[in-house]
Structure 1
Amino acid sequence: MLTAERRRSIMQTLHHDGKVLASELSKDLNVSEDTIRRDLRELAVAGMLQRVHGGALPISPATASFTERQQQAAGAKAAIAQAAIQFIRQHQVIILDGGTTPLQVAQHLPYDLRATVITHSPPVASALAEHPEIEVIVIGGKLYKHGVVSVGAATVEAYSNIRADLCFLGISGLHPEVGISTLDLEEAYVKRAIIASAAEVVALTSAEKLGTAAPYVVGP
């Protein structure tokens, strides 16, 4: 079997099963595990899968730019936002994570909602700037440009001193093998701090991210 054919077979198995194991691929394709690991490495470099210990998982679609992601599954994200706001009660302290789906939540908050929203996302803060009843607290730090959010030690420290009623978490991938994952290590630390700061966590994800993984694990 040619290399291109073998790698095409690997991708077909990945799409069908939701994961691949190097040991099983080695037996199925009658090649060494070293050959399979090399194939997985090259496919990962090409952005076609996410390598994990012993194999690979489907890659998160969140690698596109923020502007591009705003156009992807926009209707589904709006529907998710409408469902998410049902968890909100008057006068709560709410953390809104960065990302295109949390941004939709911000844009759909009722105008009669009285609450405090804490965010490290400039787009989310901007979306709430003219809301008449919501107090907006913006957490600073270093700008992670892909996600358009603040990250770093200062961001994590700020969240560690907050006790929120509810948080809406944006995620890059959700897979039963690894849980919630994201594309940036510093962003993963921030998301963990957000989860620790909130009494209740609502993870927001559209269908195309289900069964996919990104490099950095946030939690189960």
Structure 2
Amino acid sequence: MAGEDKPVFAARRRERILELVRANGAMALRDIADQVRVSEVTVRRDVRTLEAEGLIDRRRGGAALPGHPLAGKGRRAGGTAPELSAIARKAAPLVSDDDAIVLGPGEAVEALAAELTGRRGLTVVTNSLRVAQTLAAAPGVEVVMTGGTLRGSVLALVGGAAEQSLEGLRVRRAFVSGQGVTAERGLSTPNAAVAGVDRALAACAEEVIVLADHSRVGADTMVQTVAPEHIAHLVTDSHADPEVLMTLEDMGTTVYVAVPDVDRGE
């Protein structure tokens, strides 16, 4: 297909592939190719790119959302629902009534939002549509959305408008996630636009708190968002690499380890 590999067309095509996989959970490559109207070879190449960004998993002849039963087994598994819930419960006491905080995108932060619906006098600044939706009906929570351009793969607002809307704001704590956190580079994500807003969210706060399941601890991706010396707290699960956690603690980060209910035998 002429011109299909130009950057703008490739980006739009990958967004469409991600939308299809998100809607169906898993799809065969030939079905994706029919929907997007490109060759299976092109779809296979796009799926590899999306997998490298941590957005989908490859499987034989198809693609699936991470954690889906049909997802490929070659990629390291991400956080499960029990792990994310445990992380959220562990982080929730770090938010008080009458607080002002920022919440970024990501499954662990979204799980935290669900734990905060009973807070009173809480102001939450966010660029995440899922976080905003979770807190929309909470009577004691005021939600402030950033501006920006919607990035469909993470359902978050990004870009210059999002970053500018955060200028001049000051909150007590920022809760952010990402695709990797290491002692050497801190928090990182594979997408520059997402990283730009994550940095702006972190810059608003007196303290930065990273929520990361074990699959992200020790992982390093392309774009740094928060330097390790600026991570005040890390909340993770009991399957995280202890050497990475100890190194971060030695650097001054307070580490909280959440034990999922399934590991407690509950």
Normalising by structure 2, what TM-score? Answer: 0.57
Deviations 1:90-146 (A, max 9, x none): 111110101111110111115143201111111110011110110111112111122
1:99 aligned residue (101, 106, 114): 106
Match of 2:9 in 1: none
Please, what is the CA RMSD of the aligned residues?
A: 2.5
1:124 aligned residue (123, 126, 131): 131
The alignment of Structure 1 onto Structure 2 pairs a total of residues equal to: 165
Q: Compared with structure 1, are the counterparts of its residues 110 and 150 closer, same or farther at alpha carbon in structure 2 (3 Å cutoff)? A: closer
Match of 1:176 in 2: 183
1:68 aligns with 2:65: yes
CA distance in 1 between partners of 2:183 and 2:56 (Å): 23
Aligned residue type for 2:55: T
CA distance in 1 between partners of 2:48 and 2:216 (Å): 19
CA distance in 1 between partners of 2:104 and 2:156 (Å): 8
1:143 aligns with 2:150: yes
Normalising by structure 1, what TM-score? Answer: 0.68
Runs of 5+ in structure 2 lacking a partner?
1-46, 58-63, 69-78, 228-266
1:217 aligns with 2:219: no
> 5 Å matches for 1:30-41?
none
Deviations 1:149-184 (A, max 9, x none): 100011101112211111111111112332211021
CA distance in 2 between partners of 1:208 and 1:168 (Å): 18
CA distance in 1 between partners of 2:182 and 2:156 (Å): 23
CA distance in 2 between partners of 1:181 and 1:202 (Å): 14
Deviation of 1:189 (Å): 1.1
Runs of 5+ in structure 1 lacking a partner?
1-44, 50-58
Match of 1:156 in 2: 163
Q: Compared with structure 1, are the counterparts of its residues 151 and 112 closer, same or farther at alpha carbon in structure 2 (3 Å cutoff)? A: closer
Match of 1:133 in 2: 140
Which structure is higher in helix share? 1
Q: Compared with structure 1, are the counterparts of its residues 148 and 69 closer, same or farther at alpha carbon in structure 2 (3 Å cutoff)? A: farther
Is contact 1:70-1:100 (8 Å) kept?
no
SS of 1:101 mapped into structure 2: helix
Match of 1:12 in 2: none
Aligned residue type for 2:152: K
CA distance in 2 between partners of 1:68 and 1:93 (Å): 33
Name the larger-Rg structure: 1
Aligned residue type for 1:187: V
Match of 1:197 in 2: 204
Is contact 2:55-2:65 (8 Å) kept?
no
Q: Compared with structure 1, are the counterparts of its residues 130 and 76 closer, same or farther at alpha carbon in structure 2 (3 Å cutoff)? A: same
Fraction of identical pairs, as percent: 27
Deviations 1:175-202 (A, max 9, x none): 2332211021011111111111101111
Aligned residue type for 1:84: A
